[in-house]
Amino acid sequence: QVQLQQSGPGLVRPSRTLSLTCAISGDSVSSNSAAWNWIRQSPSRGLEWLGRTYYRSKWSTEYALSVQSRITIHPDTSKNQFSLQLTSVTPEDTAVYYCSRDDFTTGAALDYWGQGTLVTVSS
């Protein structure tokens, strides 16, 4: 059974960097069939896919155009986890952030999710 455990601060000051981590159990961040995603949800923007990282003989990342200039998703193979960094945050980045897995066997659908982290951007 795959489990994803999120960690990170719930409050970030405007213009600073939002950083979250997702620890994986029951699978490997280096899996050749899975990809590791970040999604956020807010009342104003709904569910928004932010990006993903995956390993297919080499590491790759894909980002949503809306955050492409500010986002980094990074795998950590030594700890079997992956992270999200979002720079220059504004109150518009206030949302519940989720990490999630997509897998080749389910056509890249998001089959396992973390518990969610409410991140508030405020001074």
Partner 1 sequence: DIQMTQSPSSLSASVGDRVTITCRASQGISRYLNWYQQKPGKAPKLLIYAASSLQSGVPSRFSGSGSGTHFTLIISSLQPEDSATYFCQQSQGTFGGGTKVEIK
Which residues contact partner 1 (rule: CB under 8 A)? 35, 46-49, 52, 62, 64-65, 98, 100, 102, 106-111, 113-116
To partner 1, the closest distance from the beta carbon of 96 in angstroms equals: 9
Given the complex with partner 1, which of 80 and 96 has the nearer CB atom? 96
Given the complex with partner 1, which of 85 and 115 has the nearer CB atom? 115
Rg (CA), the chain: 14
To partner 1, the closest distance from the beta carbon of 104 in angstroms equals: 11
| CB atoms inside a 10 Å sphere around CB 111 | 13
Residue 105, CA distances (Å) to 32, 49, 101, 108, 114 in order: 11, 20, 12, 7, 20
Given the complex with partner 1, which of 12 and 99 has the nearer CB atom? 99
